[in-house]
Amino acid sequence: MRVIFLGPPGAGKGTQAHFLCNFLQIPHVSTGDRLRQEVQAETELGKQVKEIMAAGLFPADELIIALVKKALLETKEAKGFLLDGFPRTVAQAEALKDASIDIDHVIELEVADEVIIQRLSGRRVHLSSGRIYHVTLNPPKVADIDDMTGEALVHREDDKEAVIRKRLEVYHDKTKPLVHWYQRLASTNKIPVFSKISGEGAVEIVRQRLVQIFAK
Ligand code: AMP
């Protein structure tokens, strides 16, 4: 099963991806997680994208497409993958299609902008695993500490309010058109199946909506 998660930053893609990958037994490919690991390790790519990410903007499509192609090679033996945070532009979706990487299912998680601002400003992440917490909605056992490893959690630069607003603007401008792009593809080809669910409400409720998609 090859799945794409679409939705604004803070829609819960990362949180639900961890669950869905476990449920479908497929690897999780998050471009955001991989880019943050590059930044943390201070690689050439990391140095190139650090400021751009901190400002809530997108690095060049070519850089991201190369990163994803490399990541997908690592999933060759698996029964598919879940792409979280990719594609984010029509050019990225076209690159996938041109590489004949067929997608079975595109799932859009819909969340209102005001809900996102509240969610993201309280979000804390464990960088090496991608585990996600929220200071009030899903707090770790000990404040600012990852439950599993005891390592420090991070408040991402791009989760500060002014940057969140910029990221939402970029989402509506560059990524939202992908919804129509995939809906059109779904209506002309047999795949991908396109599903839209609300990403609002408790994590567990959203999880049940996701499971229902695959129970059909
Ligand atoms: P995320 O963790 O998915 O919210 O991604 C964090 C940041 O990484 C984004 O705001 C972008 O700066 C960058 N990023 C991640 N995935 C992509 C992508 N597919 N295209 C462009 N930029 C991306």
Instruction: Retrieve residue 212's tokens.
Output: 């229902």
Q: Average the pLDDT over 115-140 and give the result.
A: 91
Is 84 a residue whose pLDDT tops 90?
A: yes
Range of the domain at 19: 2-215
Examine residue 59 and say whether the peptide bond preceding it is cis (omega within 30 degrees of 0): no
Alpha carbon nearest to ligand 1 atom 14, residue: 32
Q: What is the pLDDT of residue 115?
A: 94
Give the pLDDT band of residue 156 (cuts 50, 70, 90): confident
Any ligand 1 atom below 6 A from CB of 64: yes
Active site residue 184: no
Assess whether the C-beta atom of 5 lies below 6 angstroms from ligand 1: no
**What pLDDT was estimated at residue 154?**
94
Q: How far is the CA of 84 from the centre of ligand 1 (A)?
A: 9
Q: Average pLDDT, stretch 190-197?
A: 91
CA of 32 to the centre of ligand 1 (A): 5
Q: Can you give the pLDDT at residue 214?
A: 87
| Known active-site residue 167 | yes
**Domain of residue 34, CATH code:** 3.40.50.300
What is the atom index within ligand 1 of the atom nearest the CA of 167? 10
**Does the active-site annotation cover 13?**
yes
pLDDT for the residue numbered 128: 87
Catalytic residue chosen out of the listed positions 156, 160, 176, 196: 156
pLDDT score of 215 more than 90: no
User: What is the pLDDT at residue 32?
Assistant: 94
Domain count of the fold of the chain: 1
d(Cα 124, Cα 132) in Å, to the nearest integer? Answer: 6
Give the model confidence (pLDDT) of 31-71 as tens digits. 999 999 999 999 999 999 999 999 999 999 999 999 999 99
> Is the predicted pLDDT of residue 216 greater than 80, yes or no?
no
